[in-house]
Structure 1
Amino acid sequence: MALAHLSDAWRLTGRTALVTGASHGIGRAAARELAGFGADLLLVARDAAGLETTRQELAEAFPAIEVLALAADLVEAEDRLAVFDWITDLGFSPSILVNNAGGNQPRAALDYAPEELRAIFELNTFAAFEMCRLAHPFLATHGGAAIVNVGSVSGITHVRTGAAYGMSKAALHQLTRNLAVEWAADGIRVNAVAPWYIRTRRSALALADADYREEVLERTPLKRIGEPEEVAAAIAFLCLPAAAYVTGQVLAVDGGFLALGF
């Protein structure tokens, strides 16, 4: 492979990435990482104020790329359709989709109300599924399109996030595998990342408990909490041409948590 081709394998110049849950945490870090590789950005999140702050910061940091944003609640079918109407009106055709929007309501299994269980699945699984389906016509027009779903180690093994969250993320991992096989013929790779504890707003409350934090660190061989940028680096790799032979995978970004055992 020629050196020029090697260089191209590690660039996303000319590509457009649609990133959900982009206002904070892993989504924001992923958007910044993709921008660093040269991708134009289409950012979506429920938090309109946080989203606009992120858009402005990234536009200033990366003046050579387009950074556009739309506030939307992806649980709502109308909002999902509005996102793709917006993209069509802009004349963009994303070749990358990062499904990062998600949430949780931790409960004991017996304590979940039916509507709480449905809400977790609507956001973590069903919204991602529909975003993939709506994005498909755009992604299929490109060579080497990529979807990355943000799952969780809770979808692989038991952690203290509640059964509903683990179930929803396990379903997202399986969606990743199924679409990877089904859409390979369309030139679309589909992978996922599975983080352990990452330093975000969502994890801050649990990690503020010193005893709980110590338990987390004891189960983490690298003995520290992960950073959003470290998950973002894995997401970006899975979007790069350099990862062109990687599909259907769930990549743990966990400091060794899953490998530790007893």
Structure 2
Amino acid sequence: MNSRIDAWQLQGHTALITGASKGIGYAVARELAGMGASLLLVARDDDYLEQVRIELTDDFPEIDVLAFAADVSEAEDRLAVFDWIADMDAPVSLLINNAGGNLPKATLDYEEDEYRLIFEQNLFSAFEMCRLAHPHLTEHANAAIVNVGSVSGITHVRTGSPYGMTKAALHQLTRNLAAEWAIDGIRVNAVAPWYIRTQRSEPALADADYLDEVLDHTPLRRIGEPEEVAAAIAFLCLPAASYITGHVLAVDGGFLHYGF
């Protein structure tokens, strides 16, 4: 087999993807499956997740597609995910930390339980998933973690300060782990999307005036698609990206060069 072709494929990999049933997580699952990776899908909605598992199994019969319903912002659920993985002896080599949430408000309007939940969903869950995955990832020669950050972790984009704080911290976690775990053969990168067309972004983008303002600050003059973020994530997982670690890749249509 041509080694350069192998560098652009993911046969022999098993990817653990959180928030895998919808939006960016679902697009990542399809992208990685198309490159030959087996899938371990995690999301909160058991029934919907099972539908996604069946769909991906039908579309990619040559790979294994398994699913486990869990809320990775909860410590017990995170442990349950890795008990499930241990029971199957699944060889996890890729971790995609995509699960997250938000409640946009003015800073002074947040209740303590609201902003703490955002931190649990977006930051602490990824931190703990990385730690739990570490012993599995060290067993594979080409292991990688990709965290789904946000341009809000780099500049102000009206998402609410807790969301921006968690994404900035997630970017820094990416850099720290890249340096700390390089010796273990684990590359750690992140993507930082701008507006992507998902269920979560639909309410904001339904406001025509707001949409126009977003597009005015996006050089490519359009909203991104989940598949475009998934392609960037897949690249960072590939053996072809073997000398890239600690990087936060903006998937933003040029937005960060404009500001908002």
Considering the TM-score relative to the shorter chain, is it more than 0.5? yes
Same amino acid, percent of matched pairs = 73
Q: What is the CA–CA distance in structure 2 between the aligned matches of 1:119 and 1:261, rounded to whole Å?
A: 28
Q: Residue 64 of structure 2 aligns with which residue?
A: 66
Q: What is the CA–CA distance in structure 2 between the aligned matches of 1:261 and 1:136, rounded to whole Å?
A: 36
Q: Residue 231 of structure 2 aligns with which residue?
A: 233
Q: Residue 134 of structure 1 aligns with which residue?
A: 132
Q: Which of 17, 23, 37 is the equivalent residue of 1:39?
A: 37
Matched to 2:184, the amino acid is D
Matched to 2:147, the amino acid is N
Contact in 1 for aligned 2:24/2:226 (Cα 8 Å): yes
SS in structure 1 of the partner of residue 201 of structure 2: helix
Q: Residue 201 of structure 2 aligns with which residue?
A: 203
Contact in 1 for aligned 2:150/2:194 (Cα 8 Å): yes
Q: What is the deviation of 1:260? A: 2.1
Q: What is the deviation of 1:49? A: 2.0
Contact in 1 for aligned 2:155/2:259 (Cα 8 Å): no
Matched, 1:21 2:19: yes
Q: What is the deviation of 1:167? A: 0.3
SS in structure 1 of the partner of residue 156 of structure 2: coil
Matched, 1:108 2:89: no
SS in structure 1 of the partner of residue 228 of structure 2: helix
Q: What is the alpha-carbon root mean square deviation over aligned residues?
A: 0.9
Matched, 1:152 2:150: yes
Where has structure 1 moved over 3 Å in runs of 4 or more? none
Q: Provide the TM-score with structure 2 as the length reference.
A: 0.99
Q: What is the CA–CA distance in structure 1 between the aligned matches of 2:117 and 2:167, rounded to whole Å?
A: 13
Q: What is the CA–CA distance in structure 2 between the aligned matches of 1:48 and 1:214, rounded to whole Å?
A: 37
Q: What is the CA–CA distance in structure 2 between the aligned matches of 1:242 and 1:235, rounded to whole Å?
A: 13
Matched, 1:123 2:121: yes
C-alpha offsets along residues 188-243 of structure 1, whole Å, 9 cap, x if unaligned?
A: 00000000000000000000000000000000000000000000000000000000
Q: What is the deviation of 1:75? A: 1.2
Q: What is the CA–CA distance in structure 2 between the aligned matches of 1:199 and 1:60, rounded to whole Å?
A: 25
Q: What is the CA–CA distance in structure 1 between the aligned matches of 2:247 and 2:16, rounded to whole Å?
A: 20
Contact in 2 for aligned 1:24/1:50 (Cα 8 Å): no
Q: Provide the TM-score with structure 1 as the length reference.
A: 0.98
Q: Mark the runs of 5 or more structure 1 residues left unpaired by the alignment.
A: none
- Paired residues, what number? 260
Which deviates the most, 41-50 or 248-257? 41-50
Q: What is the deviation of 1:47? A: 1.4
Q: What is the CA–CA distance in structure 2 between the aligned matches of 1:261 and 1:110, rounded to whole Å?
A: 24
Q: What is the deviation of 1:261? A: 4.7
C-alpha offsets along residues 87-133 of structure 1, whole Å, 9 cap, x if unaligned?
A: 11112111000000000000000101111111000010000000000
Q: Residue 6 of structure 1 aligns with which residue?
A: 4
